[in-house]
Amino acid sequence: MTPYLLLPLFLSALLSLATSQDAAFWNNQAQRTLEEALNLRQNQGIAKNVIFFLGDGMDITTTTAARILRGQMDGETGEEGSLAWDDFPHVALSKTYNTDQQVADSAGTATAFLCGVKAKAGTLGIDDGAERGSCASVAGTEVDSVLVEANRAGKATGLISTARVTHATPAAAYAHSAERDWENNDRVPDEEADEGCIDIARQLVEENNFINLILGGGRVNFLPNTTLDPEYGDENTTGYRTDGLNLIEQWLSVKGSSAQYVWNKTALDRVDLSSTEYLLGLFEPSHMKYEVDRLNDTAGEPSIAEMTELAINMLSSDEDGFFLMVESGRIDHGHHMGVAHKALTDTIAFHEAVAKAIEMTDSDDTLILVTADHGHAFAIGGYASRGNPIFGYDDRNNGSDDKPYLTLSYANGPGGIALADSYINTGARPNHYTSDYDSEGFVQDATVPAISETHGGADVAIYAHGPWSHLFHGTHEQNYIPHVVRYAACYSDSEDNACTRATEEPPMCTGSAHPTVLARCASVILPLISLIFLWISM
């Protein structure tokens, strides 16, 4: 055997020696984790700030696959890696069903995790008493979100989404609508408009103009159909509104000189936060770009991490604290396309946003939550070797037809159409030995052919970090989430919350800047100091 043929065997043996994971390795790793758990304390301070991260469609399978991909992009085997929320001390599960559906949609779930009540699929900010698509049924069913309640509590507020800011998840933070699709007036049926229902974009501008920061996509829902889009500027990219309203100009006129509107990254980077109290950024006519396409955008788009960093810098100037919701909306869209590459790279971008928030805040006074609205029909399968490319095929086994199968697949979706076509045309499955399976647009195999892959009904995770994060501790109904936020941040008028508790129990005199806690600390410490001086003077 020639020397150069021995080289791969030598390198393989060297790698195996360097990464030996014997009993001592795993025992030591487990003991370190145990020690951290034993030293974990319950943070019963007050959440001056709340950052609510929502990965749309980011189920546990997506998190696992993205974690492996991130590690492999960094030259590791991947499985041992971690995402920002993997290190959060408290984790629970969330049951995602809607009141009328076993497998949820994003509107009903957003109403649950932002407003505190479960609701029908397709409805926003209203309870189960309303009927989808019926404007007349809305009155008396409206429920407010924790973002609205944060404003009432004197907090600064912000909203970020890589989807349209009028899309289902962000809209539940401010709107009350019997139909998630009523994003602009042209989508509201005449008979429903006659009943008094106004579209979601108008609700944002006219009824919720207290929100300090709004960043995302969706210019078309704010501009008249006679106005050309500023980025693409042709007759095919006008606004969608048929009522003649330019809601961007309307928002600017109401907010005055302390407000700024931007539509590209250059303008966003030039914003003077010291003189800006209100900021609206709409970076695409519809949804923002997938992360893999973002750098090729015509006008330039900020990443979700860059938007998060700017938001925290801006909102932190409010001495009363802030509430910020950040949605990675296109994880979901990548899955619907059956393109795992787009879903997972957007998940990694989402990880970077969470990591930035952790870096910029203090867990003593900032509650950070990371969760998902629902899952997808997405699976990791097979018995591939450790470190096998996550987009690749099982390197140890083939199917019963002696052809390889991919590690990542879907139960349904566009990949099922390609699979059916392959059977029709060749009588067999595609041969993935020659597939371009790691390309950015590759469509994974799916069992059932469908134009769009569906959501999944499995529980999703809740990762929590900061004051009262230990209240996430088991399997919860999804609507439980904002009740913890209200308690930890004292948004509710309830007699039992973190603030009232601080006046009743011995406070944490360090790690909280809330006035109630400091006053309680002073009431305990100052008499003690007086007694000490009295004793010294005797």
CA distance 115 to 136: 21
CB 96 within 8 A of CB 376: no
- 526 in any annotated domain: yes
Signed CA dihedral, 55, 60, 66, 71: sign only: positive
Domain co-membership, 511 together with 479: no
Query: How many residues does this entry show for the chain?
Result: 538
Q: Which of 505, 479, 499 is nearest to 487 (CA)?
A: 499
Strands laid side by side in the 460-465 sheet: 259-262, 278-282, 213-217, 156-164, 322-328, 49-55, 366-372, 460-465, 90-95, 475-477
The residue written with tokens 């189960």 in the block is 128
- 101 in any annotated domain: yes
**CB proximity list for 31: less than 8 A, separation 6 or greater:** none
Please confirm, yes or no, whether 274 is among the known catalytic residues: no
Using CB atoms within 10 Å of the CB of residue 140, give its burial: 0 to 12 exposed, 13 to 18 middle, 19+ buried.
Answer: exposed
CB 322 within 8 A of CB 282: no
Domain co-membership, 189 together with 254: yes
- Domain count along the chain: 2
Is 167 labelled a binding residue? yes
Is 455 labelled a binding residue? yes
Domain co-membership, 296 together with 238: yes
Domain co-membership, 485 together with 516: no
CB 353 within 8 A of CB 328: yes
Domain co-membership, 516 together with 469: no
CA distance 310 to 472: 28
- 5 in any annotated domain: no
Note the pLDDT of residue 504: 62
Note the pLDDT of residue 7: 39
- 111 in any annotated domain: yes
Is 341 labelled a binding residue? no
Domain co-membership, 473 together with 512: no
- CATH code of the domain covering residue 164: 3.40.720.10
Note the pLDDT of residue 11: 38
Domain co-membership, 522 together with 480: no
Domain co-membership, 515 together with 481: no
Q: Residue 213 — φ and ψ, nearest 5°? A: -140, 130
Local confidence pLDDT in tens for the 538 residues of the chain? 344 334 334 434 444 444 578 999 999 989 998 998 898 899 999 999 999 999 999 999 999 999 999 999 999 999 999 999 999 999 999 999 999 999 999 999 999 999 999 999 999 999 999 999 999 999 999 999 999 999 999 999 999 999 999 999 999 999 999 999 999 999 999 999 999 999 999 999 999 999 999 999 999 999 999 999 999 987 778 999 999 999 999 999 999 999 999 999 999 999 999 999 999 999 999 999 999 999 999 899 999 999 999 999 999 999 999 999 999 999 999 999 999 999 999 999 999 999 999 999 999 999 999 999 999 999 999 999 999 999 999 999 999 999 999 999 999 999 999 999 999 999 999 999 999 999 999 999 999 999 999 999 999 999 999 999 999 999 999 999 999 999 999 997 767 899 988 766 554 454 444 444 444 455 545 555 555 555 555 5
pTM: 0.90
Using CB atoms within 10 Å of the CB of residue 279, give its burial: 0 to 12 exposed, 13 to 18 middle, 19+ buried.
Answer: buried
Note the pLDDT of residue 298: 86
- 157 in any annotated domain: yes
Residue 466 is part of which domain span?
A: 49-377+454-489
Strands laid side by side in the 408-413 sheet: 378-380, 408-413, 446-449
Note the pLDDT of residue 45: 95
Is 336 labelled a binding residue? yes
Domain co-membership, 360 together with 298: yes
Domain co-membership, 318 together with 267: yes
- The tokens describing 214, both together, are 């709004």
- The tokens describing 462, both together, are 């809740």
- 201 in any annotated domain: yes
End-to-end CA gap in the chain: 93
Annotated active-site residue in 94, 106, 409, 492: 106
Is 56 labelled a binding residue? yes
Helix (H) or strand (E) holding 499: helix 498-504
Is 287 labelled a binding residue? no
CA distance 127 to 124: 8
- 300 in any annotated domain: yes
Q: Which of 149, 150, 107 is nearest to 126 (CA)?
A: 107
- The tokens describing 314, both together, are 């801006």
Helix (H) or strand (E) holding 322: strand 322-328
Domain co-membership, 257 together with 312: yes
- 446 in any annotated domain: no
Domain co-membership, 480 together with 511: no
